[in-house]
A and B are shown apart, each in its own frame.
Chain A
Amino acid sequence: MNDDTIRRMWDHMAELHQAELIHKPDALEMKIIAKALDRMGIVEHDAFMQSFATTVGLRIYLPFEPGDLSARCALAQAKLCAHEFQHVVQLEEEGTDFMWGYLRSGAYRAIKEGLAYTCNLEVHHWATGELLDCEELAQTLEHYACTEGDIAVCRAILRSAKVTVQDGGILNRSSREVISFLEGEGVQGRQQKGQLDRRK
């Protein structure tokens, strides 16, 4: 499992969904959004630019170069890849209703993020055999202009998904695609904890 495999995983997913990977620090529109979100008190400028990937339509803004294992370990990138491309799947399935709903409704946003975080749960379980903490995952929605009520719904989605995942099920298309690509590269799930966690 190396940087080349991870870079090709991103490229494969981008090609599959006809999406574009963009280096976030170079994107003027992201710098503007970062300033605005900072002023609105939703998320700090540097955190938005350096810690969060952002998907807008078919454009995925990454705060690091795909495959750069010094920035994020292989497992973190695999989970992030499934998560961000699940938003692309949501767009493919619901069209503009998805974008409109995501922007105008915290309730809708919590549902869609909850489902995307289900991908983190799925890929992590495939790679390590372990289950992520749903509470911790749901709490991430603090940075998405969501209320405590929205976060509680996200938690419920993850608890429901956890039942399926711990029984070996995969619910989301993008998780299946990422896992299928990595298995095609010879990466065996549940044996990768040491390798996938390792940074360069």
Chain B
Amino acid sequence: MRRLLIWLGMAPLLVLVNGCTMPSASPVCEPTSSRCRGNAVELCGSDGQWYEAHDCSEATPGDWVCGVVDDGLHACVRDEK
């Protein structure tokens, strides 16, 4: 049991180290840029891939929609409708 726990503890580290050498997909966006996709805010990661950051449909209280705020940054803003 003790040995199993040691290996379980080490496994994440082995993957972490291995992950540094693995190939990744070609960049499709400028890191830190943002956009609305449906009602979600997406952020471009440092690997140049889009990631969903916030789903505005799940924000509470009230209704929220994805919109552009300062400096072209996208965020969930109150739905004024």
Contact = CB atoms under 8 A, between A and B. Distances in A.
Contact of A104 (B5, B19, B75): B19
A103 B17 CA distance: 9
Contacts of A33: 9-10, 12-13
Contacts, number: 120
Interface string B22-62: 10100000011010000001011111010101100011111
A157 to B, nearest CB: 5
A82 to B, nearest CB: 14
A28 interface: yes
Q: How large is the interface on B (under 10, 10 to 19, 20 to 34, 35 or more residues)?
A: 35 or more
Contacts of A56: 12
A157 B43 contact: yes
Given A28-B5, A153-B31, A108 B45 contact: yes
A160 to B, nearest CB: 4
Contacts of B58: 171, 173
A150 interface: yes
Q: Is the interface of A mostly helix, strand, loop or mixed?
A: helix
Nearest to A173: B58
Q: How large is the interface on A (under 10, 10 to 19, 20 to 34, 35 or more residues)?
A: 35 or more
A152 B43 CA distance: 11
Interface in A95-112: 100, 103-108, 110-111
Given A36-B10, A160-B74, A104 B22 contact: yes
> What 7 pairs across the A-B complex have the smallest Cβ distances?
A104-B19, A29-B9, A149-B46, A163-B75, A107-B45, A107-B47, A103-B15
